[in-house]
Structures are given as C-alpha cells and as structure tokens.
C-alpha cells in the first residue's frame, strides 16, 4: 500500500474554509494525485480538509470517507498549551520546543506527557484518542499495528493507493503514531506546508509491513503551477 497524507490548503479558520490561494493549491494537488491514481480517499470532517479533497475526488471519481477523529478541533482542545490570553500548539511554544529536546524527555519516550511540566494538562487522553483512531484506520486497511515496534502485521494484503486529507496539528500526532516515533521527537524535527504531500510505503514482507517515508510534505505541485511555496513567502529567519 502507498499511503498519502495531505495537509489542507491555505485556510480561513472562521468560517472554516479555504482562501482563493488554498483553492488553487487544492486544484494543483488534485492534478498531481490524479497522475498517480488514488483508490481510496479519507478526509477530516473539517470543511477546509473536505474542500481540499474535493478537486481530487472529482478527478479520480471517488467519494471521500469522512473521519471525525482527524478533525483538528479535537487536538486543538487536547494538545495545546496556554500562552498569554490564549493557547498555542505544544510544538510551536518556544519553551516546550526546547523541553522536547532534553534528555529527560527522551527518556520518557512515548510517555512524554508524564513529565512534571505536563502532568496537569491531561495530554495522555488526547494522544491515546489519536493513537486508537490511527490504529483502527490501518487495521481496516489490513495492517494491525504492533504498537511501539515500528511494524504492522499484515492481515489482508493491500495494493491500494490511499489518501487522507487532514491537518498539521493533527498530523503531527497521527504521523508520530503511524511511524512509532515519540511525539516530542517527531514534531520538533518535522513540519508540513499547505497541501504538502507525505507518501508512506507499506511494503509487505514475511507477513509484516514496516512503513517507510518516501517523501515528506512535498510541494512540487505548487511549483509546477507557479504558486508560492512555504519557503518563498519572504525571509526564512
């Protein structure tokens, strides 16, 4: 199986939708995905994810299956930290980013939320919700996750190309689960741009599949259509 994880296009968060640029990004992404061929499409229940998926659905003539566990509103409630009068993602908070790289955090590994600075927030519940939903999704595709080993037992051979349109904040948690990389280590070393394409191969061997990232948050479809990429909006520093 080839699994495609796609972040939504440039958004308007209120009301939940795409900007004009976001729609152009979604159209560019659809052309790229249609070239590969997609057998199955999933999308978050968020409008911006559904709108990003629509051009691809139209081109490949597939209806999306909507997955509410992917909706970013849930992880925004579960995996953010207070700052000023509001809150921000854990991986965007300067103090937390440094903390995530410390040896004490690495020793906690997948139970990073047991760190004394995080116990009060109840992050474990949010992480387990996403992990359980992720494992359920891949089990339905024929891959039973042996959690924290980095491998999946093949219960049904799958030669499909499967796409999931979702989000950045959700995606950090989702991909850390899928790849069995502790959340702190994953999210401080990875990011994803609007309509960025991450492709993961589930190569089956001796009854198991070990997911391998073939490309991460690729935006070559934007370059091809003459649209701006994340690193040409202005100075990078």
Q: Which residues pair with 209 in a beta bridge?
A: 152, 204
Mean pLDDT score of the chain: 95
Say whether pLDDT at 233 is over 60.
no
Instruction: Assign 197 a pLDDT band (cuts: 50, 70, 90).
Output: very high
Four-CA torsion 118, 119, 120, 122, nearest 10 degrees: 90
Q: Is residue 145 a contact partner of residue 139, using CB atoms and an 8 Å limit?
A: yes
Q: For the chain, percent helix, then strand, then coil, each to nearest 5?
A: 45, 25, 30
Q: Is residue 195 a contact partner of residue 27, using CB atoms and an 8 Å limit?
A: no
Structure tokens given for 205 = 């061997």
Structure tokens given for 126 = 């949010």
Say whether pLDDT at 221 is over 90.
yes
Say whether pLDDT at 223 is over 90.
yes
Say whether pLDDT at 237 is over 80.
no
d(CA 152, CA 145): 4
| Tens digit of each residue's pLDDT (9 = 90 or more) over 199-214 | 999 999 999 999 999 9
Helix axes 20-36, 47-60, angle to 10 degrees: 40
Instruction: Assign 235 a pLDDT band (cuts: 50, 70, 90).
Output: low
| Tens digit of each residue's pLDDT (9 = 90 or more) over 2-44 | 999 999 999 999 999 999 999 999 999 999 999 999 999 999 9
Instruction: Assign 84 a pLDDT band (cuts: 50, 70, 90).
Output: confident
Q: Which residues pair with 44 in a beta bridge?
A: 67
Q: Is residue 98 a contact partner of residue 117, using CB atoms and an 8 Å limit?
A: no
Q: Which residues pair with 163 in a beta bridge?
A: 4, 41
pTM across the whole model: 0.96
Straight-line distance from the first to the last Cα atom of the chain, in angstroms, rounded to the nearest whole number: 38
More confident residue, 235 or 97: 97
- What is the structure's pLDDT at 230? 75
Portion of the chain with pLDDT greater than 70, in percent:
97
Give the helix/strand (H/E) hosting 196. Answer: none
Helix axes 168-178, 123-140, angle to 10 degrees: 70
């Amino acid at each position: 199986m080839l699994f495609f994880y796609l972040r939504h296009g440039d958004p308007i968060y209120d009301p939940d939708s795409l900007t004009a640029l976001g729609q152009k990004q979604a159209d560019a992404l659809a052309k790229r995905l249609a070239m590969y061929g997609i057998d199955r499409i999933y999308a978050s229940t968020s409008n911006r994810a559904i709108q990003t998926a629509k051009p691809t659905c139209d081109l490949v003539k597939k209806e999306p299956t909507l997955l509410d566990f992917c909706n970013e509103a849930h992880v925004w409630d579960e995996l953010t930290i207070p700052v000023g009068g509001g809150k921000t993602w854990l991986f965007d908070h300067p103090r937390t980013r440094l903390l995530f790289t410390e040896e004490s955090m690495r020793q906690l590994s997948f139970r990073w939320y047991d760190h004394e600075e995080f116990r009060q927030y109840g992050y474990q519940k949010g992480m387990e919700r996403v992990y359980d939903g992720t494992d359920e999704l891949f089990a339905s595709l024929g891959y039973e996750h042996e959690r924290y080993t980095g491998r999946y037992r093949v219960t049904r051979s799958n030669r499909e190309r499967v796409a999931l349109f979702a989000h950045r904040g959700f995606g950090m948690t989702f991909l850390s689960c899928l790849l069995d990389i502790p959340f702190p280590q994953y999210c401080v070393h990875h990011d994803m741009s609007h309509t960025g394409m991450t492709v993961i191969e589930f190569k089956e061997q001796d009854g198991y599949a070990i997911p391998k990232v073939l490309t991460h948050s690729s935006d070559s479809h934007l370059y091809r259509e003459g649209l701006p990429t994340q690193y040409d909006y202005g100075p990078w520093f």
